[in-house]
Amino acid sequence: MTIKTLTATIAAAALSAGAAFAQDNPTVGGAPMMADMTIVENAANSPIHTTLVAAVQQAGLVDTLNGEGPFTVFAPTDEAFGMISDQSLTTLMMDENREQLAQILTCHVVATNAMSDAIAGMIADDGGTHPVPTVGGCTLQAEMDGDMITLTDENGRSATVTTADVRQSNGVIHVIDRVLLPAGQAG
């Protein structure tokens, strides 16, 4: 093997390793998130998103979020759902409130693949606050708090992205620490 061939082989291996590293996803709740799985498949594997998964199932959104996308989902954790009273959450999960539950959940979904660097860029380009229209008809306000992205709903409730850029086969998940609500809904 010549020096030129050895150098080319090492360079190719380094590029390959760099590409593999770039594809790595953060874990969520200690569970690996696979970039070749859908939003619903990965959320079902996350031990800190059991309430979200149950709500998505109850709202009839599984097929949608398993669809082609791309989607950006701001995914509230079980702890975030725990900030809602047990009575309110139980009421939301009733069959007769399926439409309201679907609207709340789709206010966490954007019909694009928005990585955190793109969101931060839009925030900067818009002078510190960027409106984020959701598929549920809500408009969230994205801002930076230091190096963290925050989202504020139409009721003034704020959530922080605690884990960003969890790649999915049909989009991206950003884990958030609070459930966001449509205008006029309290929780």
Residue 92 has pLDDT above 70, yes or no: yes
Total domains present in the chain = 1
> What pLDDT is attached to residue 116?
96
User: Distance between CA 104 and CA 30 in Å, rounded?
Assistant: 26
89 is a domain residue: yes
> What pLDDT is attached to residue 184?
75
Contacts of residue 175, defined as CB under 8 A and 6 or more positions apart, other chains included, come to 28, 48, 75, 77, 161, 162, 163, 164, 166
Q: How confident is the model at residue 15 (pLDDT cuts 50, 70, 90)?
A: very low
Q: What is the CATH number of the domain that holds 126?
A: 2.30.180.10
Contacts of residue 161, defined as CB under 8 A and 6 or more positions apart, other chains included, come to 74, 116, 148, 149, 150, 151, 174, 175, 176
86 is a domain residue: yes
**Mean pLDDT for all residues in the chain:** 86
Residue 49 has pLDDT above 50, yes or no: yes
pLDDT in tens, 136-174: 999 999 999 999 999 999 999 999 999 999 999 999 999
- Could you tell me how far CA 141 lies from the centroid of its own chain? 15
Percent of the chain beyond pLDDT 90?
Answer: 73
185 is a domain residue: no
Nearest 10 degrees: Cα torsion 122, 150, 72, 175: 150
The mean per-residue pLDDT over the stretch 43-58 comes to 93
Task: Tell me, letter by letter, the H, E, C secondary structure of the chain.
Answer: CCHHHHHHHHHHHHHHHHHHHHHCCCCECCECCCCCCCHHHHHHHCCCCHHHHHHHHHCCCHHHHCCCCCEEEEEECHHHHCCCCHHHHHHHCCHHHHHHHHHHHHCCEECCCCCHHHHHHHHHHCCCEEEEECCCCCEEEEEEECCEEEEECCCCCEEEEEEEEEEECCEEEEEECCCCCCCCCCC
183 is a domain residue: no
Q: Are strands 129-133 and 109-110 parallel, antiparallel or unpaired?
A: unpaired
User: Distance between CA 133 and CA 128 in Å, rounded?
Assistant: 16
pLDDT in tens, 99-119: 999 999 999 999 999 999 999
Q: What is the pTM of this model?
A: 0.84
62 is a domain residue: yes
* Residue carrying structure tokens 């791309």: 70
Q: Which domain holds residue 133?
A: 3-176
181 is a domain residue: no
